A and B are shown apart, each in its own frame.
Chain A
């Protein structure tokens, strides 16, 4: 009981630090409101021009957040997918070094254990990832809805174009659940990678660059054809919903379940790695000078 209360207050303290980065969260919300609005507008224009069935809320949401499909270099799809990772890293970035490694002795000394401290950091990242993914989906949905209304039923818009056919058989809630689970689980892993690299190198920027490199590699692996067989194993692919089966028939092994398991294993490994690393971690080790 005492232990869980200690953890609760530690997380509350960590969330207080994340709150100081709320500007990035607000920026992300604004970005995704307009991204949803713009996507929905394009879908409406295509629907009118090509005499297609009217798109619904789920179509707009999917078109905004599903990420870049295989062989596709469409810039808005890439940017919207990449931006949601970058904004998240900016929201949790400060937690990694400037607060945790250097100034968080106020907490560590009271918690009395480096491992508990790391566990608190990991749980905070997970909570922020879940909240962040929820906020993104909500603001994108509002942006889409402003253009095409709140119809949450499935539409035949994509099926009529012979692309992303499963979207036309999925309701808005089903699509939201898929996008949320893949995005949030990957963001937890990305946040942990960023934090661990930042703690190793004592600089948040290195953690940021490593995650960026990993995610861009996942995207590039699907742009050409040579690495397609490896696509599912690239960390970062798990957040690209459009490359998942059955949305993408060319990758039958890259299923929702596979990616959720992949992300879960990654999070477990990173958490354990952090726990081991914390055993001898110098909280002020990077600062030799007064």
Chain B
């Protein structure tokens, strides 16, 4: 593996990387998030598990700025989401099934995404693919990819621009044990690089291996570790 692909800029702030205060969200009359408080220190890895519909994916959507909280505040790297900036800077995310261009190769998809911000080189994109166990020279279109390969591609797009914050929703749910081991190893290396992570999973044991703290979500509320 190429260590270059794992580089992340160091954070100098003394604030938590992610600070969530009293965040609530209601959708179609249902309380999907209820007064969430959470601090994630710089370089820490936090795991969140819970049953379907408990609100764990919704929490990632709120942190990433894709969904706006009805009440409370979310600060990422010191900036309040929805006030100081619409979306966090330096964020990599895998939330639900990302919509890739099915007729293009994995590499072509990532190249087009990377061209929007132009932060990384073609070599770094290829490194990201290799890091998740995909062949950068694979010219097959994404529609020919298995579910597991698409998940790896999703992780590759999340990590390729060397984010300081990484949000991953069920990153290994479609992977076989070997594939999951590759991703675990990758995440551990990123932790050592100082990347702040929030991982969401149904699998508490997986989170326990990877995270400094594990929280449970239930009916939109975050329970203490």
The residues of A with any CB-CB pair to B shorter than 8 Å are 5-6, 9-10, 12-13, 16-17, 19-20, 98-99, 102-114, 280, 282-290
Contacts and interface: CB of A to CB of B under 8 A. Distances in A.
Contacts of B27: 282, 285-286, 288
Interface residues of B, number: 41
Contacts of A109: 64-66, 87, 91, 93
A17 B99 contact: yes
B28 interface: yes
Given A288-B27, A288-B58, A290-B57, A20 B67 contact: no
B115 interface: yes
Interface string B93-108: 1011111111110000
21 contacts: A6-B116, A16-B112, A17-B101, A19-B101, A20-B101, A20-B103, A105-B66, A107-B113, A107-B116, A109-B64, A109-B65, A282-B27, A282-B67, A283-B67, A284-B61, A284-B67, A285-B27, A289-B52, A290-B52, A290-B56, A290-B169
Nearest to B91: A109
Interface of B: 27-28, 30, 32, 52-54, 56-58, 61, 64-68, 85-87, 91, 93, 95-104, 112-113, 115-118, 157, 169-170, 200
B21 to A, nearest CB: 20
Contacts of B68: 280, 282
Given A13-B112, A289-B53, 6 more contacts: A106-B157, A282-B66, A282-B67, A282-B68, A284-B58, A284-B67
Given A13-B101, A103-B98, A290-B52, A112 B66 contact: no
Contact of A12 (B56, B99, B112, B118): B112
Contacts, number: 99
Given A103-B98, A289-B52, A9 B64 contact: no
A54 to B, nearest CB: 45
Closest 9 CB pairs of A and B: A103-B99, A16-B101, A290-B57, A283-B66, A110-B116, A282-B67, A289-B53, A288-B27, A9-B115
Nearest to B95: A105
A20 B93 CA distance: 24
Q: Is the interface of A mostly helix, strand, loop or mixed?
A: helix
A13 B113 contact: yes
A108 to B, nearest CB: 7
A3 to B, nearest CB: 11
B87 to A, nearest CB: 5
A10 B98 CA distance: 15
A275 B157 CA distance: 28
Given A108-B66, A283-B67, A16 B104 contact: yes
Contacts of B85: 112
A123 to B, nearest CB: 15
A110 B113 contact: yes
B99 A288 contact: no
Contacts of B96: 102-103, 284, 287
Contacts of A289: 52-53
Contacts of A6: 116-117
B28 A288 contact: yes
> Which of B30, B58, B86, B98 gathers the greatest number of chain A CB atoms within 10 Å?
B86
